[in-house]
Chains A and B, each alone.
Chain A
Amino acid sequence: MCSDGSETSEHAARFASYLLKAPGNQVTLFGVIESEREAGAIKHSLDLLFARLRPAHSEIAIKIARGHAAEEILKEAETGGYDLIVAGARGRRGLTRFLLGSTSSRVVQYAPCSMLVVKRTPEELRRMLVCTAGGAPGLHDVRFAAQVAAATEARLTVLHVMSQIALSEDSDLYDLEASAEELMARGTREGLHLMAALDILRQAEVVGEVKVRHGLVLDEIEGEAREGGYDTIVVGAHFARGVSRLLLDNVTSDVLEKLNAAVLVVKS
């Protein structure tokens, strides 16, 4: 659990406590001091978090590092063998963001494990939205989200966005307007994927549903997040490697940047 002494770190810690309901979780509170001016605030913040989490968790450690926030978090994540990194997204703005990049985006991209980025904290964790692009990586994300939903008794919605448009008069137009139920009934590629997602929810004994929206991917995820009142958005961090990384768009970073919600980024 990373803290920079800011209010968003407090939010992140409070939100993480929803996920850490199960006993036996080991928690490390990690602070990075980028400049000496912040040192006092960060230490104070870590002490407060320790006091808050102590009653529920017996194994809590505090660690402090000095240096660039993203680099230090990544170093700790590499050596610590963590399952999840939790951080608040205070977010750099303007020129600083342009020059140094967003800490959370950088950590999400290079971390060896999944990461929860919190911007605001809801009263409780009741509704989760998992966005899937299809295929095995998408089902992996659904499985991860289902585990969290099962532990927190949250309701889970699986969302797939279709932004395709017809290229020719031979295009199978029906798919471009069909609902999740219709796609599943027709056994299309997307329909089969959603059926597999529903199976995962059933096996995890999680209450949930599958949805399909049509439109631009980022807009539709934003729209569903807004309309559905979700507490957490789950997306995969299937960052491409090599040449593909230069070619493919980074939807995860866009979701992190645009959505004013807690975002759980699942690493495959």
Chain B
Amino acid sequence: MPRLSRLHLKKAVYGLAGLFFFILAIQLMKAGARALAPLLRETSLIRNPLNALGFGWLGAYFILSGSPVAAATLGLFNSDAIDTAQAFMMINGSRMGASFIVLFVGFVYLLRGQEPKRSLSMGMVSLLTTWTTYVPAMLLGYSALSNGWLNHLHFTASSRLASAVDAIFDPIVNRIITLAPDLLVFVVGLGVVVLAFNLIDRALPELNLGKAGFGQAPRLLYRPLVMFVLGAAVTSMSMSVSVSLGLLVPLSARGYVRAENVIPYIMGANVTTFVDTLVASMLMNNPAAFAVVVTEMLSVAIVSIVILLISYRGYERLILGLVGTITRSRRNLSIFLLALVGTPIVLLLI
């Protein structure tokens, strides 16, 4: 068999296995959350929206990824362990925590002796872009949910698909439930979703955007909205901001791109990074969960587009100015990192 076909076959197997485990994880978390819900209510571990924000945020730190935490949030929401506002804030927290992972990788390089600007610039731009758009988006989305602006949204998997999913996965889930204690089922689900995302990552094609007409990207200045759409499109395929940022590397043999181009790209990526959570909400067959995720995506998209259309130049300056200030000295960097770890802990204690 030619090498290329073998590669495609391997990726297809990874993709199918990833999809299988993703659906299995959702079913496991749905079942496990039912047992977990009374315990969560009794212990008051998640008490209010801010507390939920901190919970999702720290959860992403521990798992080193936001998507599994967002999927787990939907499981908890589906079993009424958390309410709509808490689910919304927890998913937000998972994304805010996930943006730290890009920075964390850079931080490891920094500890190995690399210069802060080399190791942290990209992660810092990504993190600050995410935070500065997600905080206003959080307020907008919270208002939308509180006022029921998107209550009419009802979109779930078709009944035929739902029946097929139940027919395939119910026996497996029931088997696991008989083997593991109720509370452990949710944790097993969380583990399986991490595995699923890992397999999906391996299934993704290695896009070479340089050959697709963007070869001069490091030199040229693209319109912010163009990069926003590109970031959104690429991330909707890769389902990960860090993966889609990694896809920018082949654009430049020298390993850098223009700041003017990368910031709107991250903004676009931050919208479609919720695609997997949206799919999970549809698999839950829960219209309210779907509405929460759509609210999340719409509010981030609206805030990003408003920034791009009204005050993009000032926003660019703000982000790069902050990056410059934080990476200027190890003292500034230490304070910032302390805030990164401290903020979700404080939120969790509220």
With contacts A169-B106, A171-B118 known, is A216 near B219, CB below 8 A? no
Q: Which of B219, B220, B254 contacts A175 (CB 8 A)?
A: B254
Interface size on A, residues (CB 8 A): 27
Q: Mark A174-202, 1 if CB is under 8 A from B, else 0.
A: 01110000000000000000000000000
Residues of B within 8 A of A177 (CB): 117
The answer to whether B317 touches A168, judged by C-beta atoms less than 8 angstroms apart, is: no
Which residue from A164, A170, A172 sits with its C-beta under 8 Å from B258?
Answer: A164
B-contacting 9-mer, from A5-13, A34-42, A56-64, A244-252: A244-252
Per-position 1/0 for A52-73, Cβ under 8 A of B: 0000000000000000000000
Given known contacts A172-B254, A218-B313, A248-B221, is B245 in contact with A167 (CB within 8 Å)? Answer: yes
The reply to whether A176 and B256 form a contact with Cβ atoms under 8 Å apart is: yes
- Interface flag for A95 (CB, 8 Å): no
Contact B256 A171 (CB under 8 A): yes
Expressed in whole angstroms, the minimum distance between the Cβ of B206 and any Cβ of chain A is: 15
Quick check: B221 and A169 within 8 Å, CB to CB?
no
Residue B316 lies at the interface, judged by CB distance under 8 Å to chain A: yes
Interface pair A171/B223, CB less than 8 Å apart: no
A and B contact pairs by CB, cutoff 8 A, 13 listed: A164-B252, A165-B258, A167-B257, A168-B246, A168-B255, A169-B106, A171-B118, A172-B254, A173-B115, A175-B256, A216-B313, A219-B317, A247-B222
Interface mask (A63-107 → B, CB under 8 Å = 1, otherwise 0)? 000000000000000000000000000000000000000000000
Q: Which chain A residues lie closer than 8 Å to B259 at the CB level?
A: 163-165, 216
Tell me, in angstroms, the Cα distance from A216 to B220 when the chains sit together.
13
Decide yes or no whether B133 CB sits under 8 A from chain A: no
A51 lies within 8 A of chain B by Cβ: no
Binary flags per residue of A208-238, CB closer than 8 Å to B gives 1, else 0: 0000000111110000000000000000000
**CA separation between A82 and B313, bound complex, in Å?**
36
Footprint of B on A, CB under 8 Å? 133-135, 163-173, 175-177, 215-219, 246-249, 251
Interface residue from B109, B119, B218 paired with A164 (Cβ < 8 Å)? B218
Which residues of chain A have C-beta atoms less than 8 A from B219's C-beta? 133-135
Question: Chain B residues with Cβ under 8 A from A135's Cβ?
Answer: 219
Contact A167 B222 (CB under 8 A): no
From A133, A163, A171, A216, contact of B254 by CB (8 A) = A171
When distances are taken between beta carbons in the complex, the residues of chain B under 8 Å from A133 are 219
What separation, in Å, do the CA atoms of A172 and B115 have in the docked complex?
12
Let me know if A167 and B221 touch, CB within 8 A. Answer: no
Q: Is B204 an interface residue (CB 8 A)?
A: no
Total inter-chain residue pairs, C-beta < 8 Å: 88
Residues on B facing A (Cβ under 8 Å): 106, 109, 114-115, 117-119, 121-122, 125, 218-224, 226, 245-246, 248-249, 252, 254-260, 262, 313, 316-317, 320
Besides A246-B223, A248-B223, 7 more A-B contacts (Cβ < 8 Å) are A167-B122, A167-B245, A167-B257, A171-B254, A177-B117, A247-B222, A249-B260
In the complex, which of the residues B114, B221, B256 contacts A249, with contact meaning CB atoms closer than 8 Å?
B221
Whether A249 lies near B224 (C-beta < 8 A) is yes
Complex interface: chain B residues within 8 A of A246 (CB)? 223, 226
Q: Are B118 and A166 closer than 8 Å at their CB atoms? A: yes
Contacts of A134 in B (CB 8 A): 219
A219 to B222, CA, bound (A): 16
Task: Tell whether A166 pairs with B317 under 8 Å between CB atoms, given A217-B221, A217-B260, A249-B224.
Answer: no
Does A165 lie within 8 Å of B119, measured CB to CB?
Answer: no
Cβ of B104 to closest chain A Cβ, rounded Å: 13
- On whether A166 and B121 interact (CB within 8 A), knowing A133-B219, A216-B260, A249-B221, the answer reads yes
Residue of A nearest to B251 (CB): A167
In the complex the two chains form, is A247's CB within 8 Å of B255's CB?
Answer: no
Residue of A nearest to B316 (CB): A216
Q: A247 near B226 (CB under 8 angstroms)? A: yes
The closest CB in chain A to the CB of B248 belongs to A167
Residues on B with C-beta less than 8 A from A166 are 117-118, 121-122, 255-256
The chain B residue with its CB closest to the CB of A176 is B256
Docked CA distance A168–B245 (Å)? 10
Q: B342 → chain A, closest Cβ, in Å?
A: 26
With A164-B258, A248-B223 known to touch, is A169 a contact of B119 (CB < 8 Å)? yes
